[in-house]
Structure formats: C-alpha cells, structure tokens
Amino acid sequence: MEWVNAIVQGILIGGLYALFAAGLSLIFGVMRLVNIAHGDMIVAAAYVALVVVQATGLHPLASAFIVVPLMAALGYAMQRLLLNPTIGKDLLSPLLVTFGISVILQNGLLVAFTADSHRLAAGSIETANIQVAPGLALGVLPLVMFAASVLIIFGLELIFYRTSLGRAFRATSDDPEIAQLMKLDRNHVFGMAMALSAAIVAIAGIFLAIRTNFDPSAGPARLIFGFEAVIIGGLGNLWGTLAGGIVLGVAQAIGAQISPGWQILAGHLVFFLVLAVRPRGLFPRMD
C-alpha cells in the first residue's frame, strides 16, 4: 500500500507541476517565446499573495481574487513594454530580455523580502485528508490543487477553441503577418496571452506558497519542473501538459519512496528518457 500511496500522491502533486507548466506552454504556443522568467514570476506571485494576506487578513486561497488581476496586469504591461519590441526579430533577443527580467525579479525580491524563506498558513485545509483505504489518504489541499489544474486547462481549451480571443491567439501564432492584415493587433494579442499566462502563474504561486517554503531563489527550480512537464507531455498540447506534470510527479514520488535523495533525480531521469525515446513528448499536438 505504501507504493500505491506514493503513486497517488505523485499524481496529485503532478497537478501543481501542470500549473507551473500551463502558462509556459501557452506563451510558447502563441508567441514561440521561451520565458526564462516564468519560474521567478511564480515566486513573485507567491510574495504578492503573502503581502495581500498580511495586509487584508484574507485566507490565502481567497487572496487569488486580488493576486490574479494584479499579476495579469503585470504580465500585460511586461509584454507590451519589454517583450513586444523584441519579438519577431530573432530568437535570442526575447530570450535575453526574459533572462534579464528573471535576474531583476530575483534581486528585487531579495532586497524587498531578504533571503529568509516564507510560507502561507492556510489553516486546517493543509492537514485535512480523506481516508480512502487503510494506509491510503488523499490530502484535501493536493486534491484542490489537482482539481484547479484540471479546471484551468479545461478553461484554456475553451478559450482557445470557443472564443474570439482564442481565434486571435491561433491566427497570430500560425501567421503573424496575415493576422496583421486581418486587422488583428499583434501587440495586444501577445499582451493578452501574457496576461492569461500571468493569471495562471498567480494561482500556481498561491498554491506554492501554501504547500512549501519559498524564497527569492526558488524560481529556477519551478521553471525546470514546468519545462519538464511541458516537454514530457508534448509541446502545444495543454492536456498533454497535465499528463506531463503527472508523469513528473509520479516519478519523483517513486524516487522518494526508494530513497529521499532520489526524489528530484528520478524526475530528471524520466524527463531525459522521454526526450530520448519521444523527442516531441508523449502527446504532441498533431498539426
């Protein structure tokens, strides 16, 4: 039963990894942009949630009603002011800009909050669980995280294929020049894509802050987990991103069951194995 419990817990934590990856996948799919600052944006969202909770006394999950719009506005402004001028010229320029944003975020958070780690206390939901069988319990918080990841990915699919904004995303991604001729404002479309990605980042940051300690240097690890989930699942496939997060979570859980030192390494090994066997991921988007 210990192994079954480890696998189940890995599946649930895979939902958080899918949240890390969903915004990354969205931005790459729309703009072909690899956002190096993505992990640091997740940590920045965690700190925004910390400030909101301390200032208002809201429950960390309720703080999403403030943190999500703030991060979406930040994402839109960042795209319009910093990234749009560099997109389309070459691949290196936007990559360097996002690297610069990453450095600024890390050092800015370090100055503002010091290197001390923080965590958001969410009360009884952190320890509440549902006993499924002897030796197998499902934590309420992991279940909420997994359900949130499924709902968010389902919502993204609806936006992409059922709304005018989604059609603008797809048109601009497929052929930016033709989209411009069709009176689509590429700068605004890209800004909206980054705003949507930052809104997902906000939710991921809140869950990160509740689940574990975080500090200004925690971003790169979140970025790596997000990249691995995207690539394992398949570039351009949002449901594949969820599957990639689950595979990564289960691999880490099994590694931890073998030995605590194997937890992170096991996830990386599975990532490299998938990359070697199926370079496009397990569920690549069919063009």
Query: pTM of the predicted model, to two decimals?
Result: 0.93
Residue 50: C-alpha distances to residues 55, 149, 258, 287 (Å): 9, 21, 35, 42
Question: What residue segments make up the domains of the chain, in order of their start?
Answer: 2-277
Q: Using an 8 Å Cβ cutoff, are 16 and 208 in contact?
A: yes
Asked: is 2-277 a CATH 3.40.50 domain? The reply is no
Rg (CA), the chain: 19
Beta pairing class for 136-139 and 129-133: antiparallel
How many angstroms separate the CA atoms of 138 and 39, rounded?
A: 27
How many angstroms separate the CA atoms of 61 and 210, rounded?
A: 9
How many angstroms separate the CA atoms of 119 and 50, rounded?
A: 8
Residues 6+ apart with CB under 8 A from 144: 61, 125
Nearest to 224 by CA among 24, 82, 1: 24
pLDDT by residue for the chain (287 residues), tens only, comes to: 778 888 999 999 999 999 999 999 899 888 888 899 999 999 999 999 999 999 999 999 999 999 999 999 999 999 999 999 988 767 788 899 999 999 999 999 999 999 999 999 988 888 888 888 777 888 899 999 999 999 999 999 999 889 999 888 888 887 777 777 777 888 899 999 999 999 999 999 999 999 999 999 999 999 999 999 999 998 778 899 999 999 999 999 999 988 888 889 999 999 999 999 988 888 877 55
